[in-house]
Amino acid sequence: MDKRESTASAESVLSTLTLHNNQTLAVSLPRNTRLIITEGAVRLTYAEPTLDWLGESAPLRSHLLHEGDTYLVERSQYVSMTGASSSGTAVLIEVAAATHVVKRLYNWFARFSDAGVAHADQRQSRGGHA
């Protein structure tokens, strides 16, 4: 984990990607992934998210990001990253962890299942049927 990145949470996963000039990488990025350009420039190309139901016919969007720029992936999608700097490009990829959502769902289900068990126990102690 890169300790210099102050925005990274303890639960996120960080990766560094290095691209040469005109080298392309296509990758699937989950929602809320942050791309931080730490060196050079990179061109991001992806299908228009609101028209992804068109498949390969969806229009493509393209952004040129320079050193110091960040880009937040708002929806899970495939992204093509192309190095656009003669000296090379470095991209820090921060994938946000979704463990807090899973924990909240688990606690929510546990709370209701515990309440149901307690209610059934009360009925049994009074002589009712469960």
- Delimit the domains of the chain by residue range: 13-125
* Alpha-carbon distance values, 62 to 2, 4, 26, 29, 72 (Å): 28, 29, 13, 16, 14
Residues 74-125 have pLDDT tens digits of 888 899 999 998 899 999 999 887 656 677 777 788 877 765 555 555 556 6
Calculate ∠ Cα 69-73-78, nearest 5°: 115
16: pLDDT strictly greater than 70? yes
CATH level 3 topology of 13-125? Jelly Rolls (2.60.120)
Number of other CB atoms surrounding residue 20 within 10 Å: 12
pLDDT score of 114 = 63
* Alpha-carbon distance values, 46 to 59, 92, 96 (Å): 9, 18, 20
User: What pTM value is reported for the model?
Assistant: 0.65
CB distance 17 to 81 below 8 Å: yes
Compute the average pLDDT of residues 46-59.
Answer: 84
